[in-house]
Amino acid sequence: MYEGYITDIKGIKIGHAQNLEAGTGLSVLIPPKGNTCSVEVRGSAPGTRETDLLDPINTVESVNAIILSGGSAYGLDAASGVMKALEEDGQGLDVGVGIVPIVSQAVLFDLAYKDCKIRPDAKMGIEAYKNASFDENRQGIIGAGTGATVGKILGMDHVMKSGLGSATIKEGDLIVSALVAVNAFGDIYDYDKNIQIAGPMANGQILKTTDAMSRVMADFSDLANKNTTIGIVATNASFDKTKLKKIAQMTHDGFARAINPVHTGFDGDTIFSLATNEITADLNMVGVMAADAMSRAIANAIYYSKDKLNLIRE
């Protein structure tokens, strides 16, 4: 397991809410004021909210919350609860007649895991917001990782359990940390150790997705839109949205190191990049550290998920 959690960065709070019986949940990051944020979507089946706003050409620089959620597109309802709670706390963009909380979100597909009729909603969003803490450090089957699985090529009877992972890398005063919910179509690798740690299971063995793709089925239409890895990379360094966009792009290298195949037509892979703007640091240095932190966080999502070597349905 790798050390660190995204709350290592001063001013960041994380809150979780989940329904373990239904197999779904969400995680919300509450950043400090004065943050800047951007995003990069690389998968072809994303479910997102307020990501266009984070494009460098658009106006708003800061966010009031970032949500990682299960529930597929239904899970986007959770943002309504977080917005309501933020408004009640007086947090948001002043528009003259009131405030509008800026809440960005990405979702993953966990509807096939347990109970597809129960998804993260506004109530669960409020719960996660109220649970947010500067001291939160839990990983595995919690929050957005509650219903996450990986290695989908042979169907749900052969997937392995995944979850939520986080990791931090420090270089002097510079801190870069990642938080990720891993629900990938592909296999998971510990990049630092150069080993496969998750994938489709058969006869007690972990197989390789790429070995099965050419022989399992003629097309993968039943797998479409049912996966996705979603994450956040954060730093205490100072960057505008344009540079954060580049950092998010570089962080996707961490996805590519730890997930294979990745960024497929079955995934909605999305990474938010956040800066708390406390110190000065080199863009390239932060991007390299971000990719490393993300690959380690992905490995932790497997390591921290209990019963990770058992089939989901026995």
Distance CA 160, CA 309 (A): 7
Mean pLDDT, range 13-33, rounded to an integer: 97
**What pLDDT band is residue 311 in, cutting at 50, 70 and 90?**
very low
How many other C-beta atoms are found inside a 10 Å radius of the C-beta of residue 194? 7
User: According to the 3-state scheme, what is the secondary structure of 287-308?
Assistant: HHHHHHHHHHHHHHHHHCCCCC
Predicted local distance difference test score (pLDDT) of residue 216: 63
Strand partners, 116: none
**What pLDDT band is residue 266 in, cutting at 50, 70 and 90?**
confident
Mean pLDDT, range 154-173, rounded to an integer: 94
How many other C-beta atoms are found inside a 10 Å radius of the C-beta of residue 105? 27
Residue-averaged pLDDT of the chain: 92
Distances (CA, A) of 269 to 65, 107, 277, 284, 305: 19, 9, 26, 22, 20
pLDDT digits (tens, 9 = 90+) for 249-262: 999 999 999 999 99
Predicted local distance difference test score (pLDDT) of residue 212: 80
pLDDT digits (tens, 9 = 90+) for 81-118: 999 999 999 999 998 999 999 999 999 999 999 999 99
DSSP letters, 16-72, are: EEEETTTTEEEEEEEPPTT-EEEEEE-SSS--EES-GGGSTTSS----SEEEEE-SG
How many other C-beta atoms are found inside a 10 Å radius of the C-beta of residue 133? 13
Q: Which of 45, 16, 56, 256 is nearest to 145 (CA)?
A: 16
Distance CA 160, CA 308 (A): 6
- The single-letter DSSP state of residue 92 is S
Assign residue 228 a region (left: φ > 0; alpha: ψ between -120 and 50; beta: otherwise): left
**What pLDDT band is residue 125 in, cutting at 50, 70 and 90?**
very high
More confident residue, 209 or 243: 243
pLDDT over 70, % of the chain: 94
Predicted local distance difference test score (pLDDT) of residue 221: 53
CB-count burial class (<10 Å; 0-12, 13-18, 19+) for 204: exposed
Distance CA 96, CA 25 (A): 34
Q: Which domains does the chain possess?
A: 6-303 (3.60.70.12)
How many other C-beta atoms are found inside a 10 Å radius of the C-beta of residue 279? 13
Mean pLDDT, range 137-148, rounded to an integer: 97
Predicted local distance difference test score (pLDDT) of residue 314: 36
Predicted local distance difference test score (pLDDT) of residue 156: 86
How many other C-beta atoms are found inside a 10 Å radius of the C-beta of residue 57? 7
DSSP letters, 102-165, are: -EEEEE---TTTS-TT----HHHHHHHHHH-BTT----BSSGGGTT-EE--TT-GGG-EE--EE
Q: Dmax of the chain from CA atoms? A: 63
- The single-letter DSSP state of residue 203 is T
Predicted local distance difference test score (pLDDT) of residue 80: 97
Please, are residues 52 and 151 in contact by the beta-carbon 8 Å criterion?
A: no
pLDDT digits (tens, 9 = 90+) for 39-75: 999 878 888 999 999 999 999 999 999 999 999 999 9
Assign residue 193 a region (left: φ > 0; alpha: ψ between -120 and 50; beta: otherwise): alpha
